[in-house]
């Protein structure tokens, strides 16, 4: 039944206007049509169901948002929210983070949110972390000079590895919070909880946040 549900979501996703598929030969042009160079552009990587992208788009209608994930059945939920909430400043892109340069012009991105990515705890897979030096160097190519990157995660390891990677690429940590609940003056957007975050909180895990530049 779960497999059938997944296939149905994939089929429906292909007919929805709020998503661009990497397999579409016209994907880059469709994204260009959506983007307004006069507006700040914010990406959410590893966006899953797109819950953070949806919340941000509703909160900041003057900006544009692109939620990026490779798992189409997850994106289905976010695309549905675009339709239900009539969000005209958000679109989803089904692709992998390694192909960002294909879709976004140099120095065109104002902010990147990385929300609960796979921490890849084994060092031999460290290069796959979305906060590895390899990826930070990639992000730098598409980020504006005045930019922000946000990392929200339940993984202490990922926060530590991110700080190491930021130092390697000569970046700068602006704000670091291990256990955001211990900071009553935390930014309000951090109180938005995704399905994934709620699952970790129910197990007693703490949530961490990092804001930085590269």
Instruction: Retrieve residue 59's tokens.
Output: 């909160």
The position carrying tokens 């941000």 is: 56
Assess contact for 130 and 97: CB atoms under 8 A. yes
H or E element, residue 110: strand 109-115
Assess contact for 20 and 94: CB atoms under 8 A. yes
Residue 118 is among the residues annotated as catalytic for this protein: yes
Q: How far is CA 185 from CA 127, 177, 180, 182, 189, in A?
A: 34, 11, 9, 9, 11
Chain center to CA of 106: 18
Chain center to CA of 24: 21
Q: Which of 118, 160, 167, 191 is catalytic?
A: 118
| 56 exposure class (CB count in 10 Å sphere: 0-12, 13-18, 19+) | buried
**What positions carry a catalytic annotation?**
118
């Amino acid at each position: 039944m779960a497999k059938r549900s997944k296939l149905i979501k994939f089929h429906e996703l292909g007919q929805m206007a709020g998503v661009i598929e990497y397999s579409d030969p016209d994907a880059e042009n469709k994204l260009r049509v959506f983007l307004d160079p006069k507006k700040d552009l914010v990406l959410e990587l590893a966006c899953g169901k797109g819950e953070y992208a949806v919340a941000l788009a509703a909160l900041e209608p003057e900006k544009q948002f692109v939620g990026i994930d490779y798992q189409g059945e997850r994106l289905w939920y976010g695309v549905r929210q675009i339709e239900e909430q009539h969000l005209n400043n958000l679109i989803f892109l089904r692709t992998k983070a390694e192909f960002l340069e294909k879709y976004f012009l140099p120095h065109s991105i104002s902010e990147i949110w990385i929300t609960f990515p796979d921490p890849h705890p084994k060092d031999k897979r460290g290069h796959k972390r979305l906060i590895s030096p390899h990826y930070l160097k990639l992000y730098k190519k598409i980020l504006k000079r005045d930019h922000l990157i946000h990392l929200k995660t339940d993984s202490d390891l990922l926060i530590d590895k991110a700080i190491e990677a930021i130092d390697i690429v000569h970046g700068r940590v602006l704000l670091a919070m291990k256990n955001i609940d211990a900071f009553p003056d935390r930014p309000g957007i951090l109180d938005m909880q995704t399905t994934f975050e709620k699952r970790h909180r129910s197990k007693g895990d703490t949530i961490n946040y990092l804001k930085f530049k590269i």
